[in-house]
Amino acid sequence: MPRDSVPRVRAVASVLHLDLDAFFAAVEQRDKPSLRGKPVVVGGVGGRGVVSTASYEARRYGVRSAMSTREARARCPHAAFLTGRFHAYRDTSERVMRLLRSVSPLVEPLSLDEAFVDLAVADHATYPGLTDLSVPSVTAFAEHLRARVAEVTGGLTASVGVASSKFLAKVASDLDKPDGLVVVPPGTERDLLRPMSVTVIPGVGPATTERLRRVGVHTVADLETLSEDELVRLLGNANGHWLFQLAQAQDDRPVVAEREAKSVSVEGTYDHDLTDRVLMEQLLTRQATDVARRLRKAGLSGRTVTIKVRLHDFTTLSRSSTLPSPTDAPATIARLARTLLADLDTSGGVRLLGVGVSGLADWVQEDLFGETSDDEEELPEVEIPHHSRRAWTPGMDVEHAEMGRGWVWGSGRGVVTVRFETAETPAGPVRSYAEDDPELTAWRPPTPEEEQE
Class of the CATH domain delimited by 191-247? mainly alpha
Q: Which of these, 310, 384, 382, 306, lies nearest to 350 by C-alpha position?
A: 310
Among the ranges given (95-99, 153-157, 371-375, 403-407), the one the predictor scored with the smallest mean pLDDT? 371-375
Tell me the torsion sign for CA atoms 27, 30, 35, 37. positive
* Span 280-310, pLDDT tens digits: 999 999 999 999 999 998 888 898 999 999 8
More confident residue, 431 or 384: 431
Read off the pLDDT band of 374 (50, 70, 90): very low
pLDDT above 90: residue 155:
yes
Question: What's the number of CA atoms in the CB half-sphere (13 Å) around residue 183?
Answer: 16
pTM of the model: 0.74
Question: Which H helix or E strand runs over 116?
Answer: strand 114-118
Q: What is the pLDDT of residue 4?
A: 39
Q: Which of these, 194, 198, 236, 190, lies nearest to 218 by C-alpha position?
A: 198
Sequence-ordered alpha helix ranges (H) in 82-134: 86-103
Q: For the chain, first and last CA: distance in Å?
A: 65
Quote the CA–CA distance of 217 and 234 in Å, as a whole number: 12
- Find the angle CA(356)-CA(110)-CA(310) to the nearest 5 degrees: 35
Read off the pLDDT band of 370 (50, 70, 90): very low
Close Cβ partners of 136 (under 8 Å, ≥ 6 residues apart): none
pLDDT above 90: residue 106:
yes
Q: What is the pLDDT of residue 347?
A: 83
* Span 49-67, pLDDT tens digits: 788 899 999 999 999 988 8
Q: Where are the domains of the chain?
A: 1-187, 191-247, 263-361, 397-452
* Span 127-154, pLDDT tens digits: 888 989 999 999 999 999 999 999 999 9
Q: Which of these, 127, 179, 386, 165, lies nearest to 255 by C-alpha position?
A: 165
Q: Let me know: does 142 contact 162? Beta carbons within 8 Å.
A: yes
Tell me the torsion sign for CA atoms 343, 345, 349, 352. negative
pLDDT above 80: residue 379:
no
Quote the CA–CA distance of 154 and 91 in Å, as a whole number: 12
Read off the pLDDT band of 261 (50, 70, 90): low
Options 28, 57, 108, 114, the catalytic residue? 114
Q: What is the pLDDT of residue 388?
A: 39
Read off the pLDDT band of 2 (50, 70, 90): very low
Q: What is the pLDDT of residue 43?
A: 86
- Find the angle CA(196)-CA(197)-CA(202) to the nearest 5 degrees: 100
* Catalytic status, residue 453: no
**1-187 CATH:** 3.30.70.270
Over range 101-129, report the average pLDDT: 92
Over range 4-20, report the average pLDDT: 78
What is the CATH architecture of 263-361? 2-Layer Sandwich (3.30)
Quote the CA–CA distance of 283 and 165 in Å, as a whole number: 44
Q: What are phi and psi of 166, to 5 degrees?
A: -65, -40
93: number of Cβ within 10 Å: 21
Give the three-state DSSP class for 360.
strand
More confident residue, 234 or 162: 162
Q: Could you give the C-alpha distances from 28 to 42, 80, 155, 239, 271, in angstroms and in order?
A: 8, 10, 12, 39, 26
More confident residue, 389 or 425: 425
More confident residue, 364 or 185: 185
Q: Could you give the C-alpha distances from 303 to 292, 317, 322, 363, 404, in angstroms and in order?
A: 12, 20, 5, 11, 52
Q: What is the pLDDT of residue 375?
A: 47
Q: What is the pLDDT of residue 8?
A: 54
Close Cβ partners of 238 (under 8 Å, ≥ 6 residues apart): none
Edge-to-edge strand ranges of the sheet holding 51-54: 51-54, 40-43, 80-82
Quote the CA–CA distance of 164 and 16 in Å, as a whole number: 9
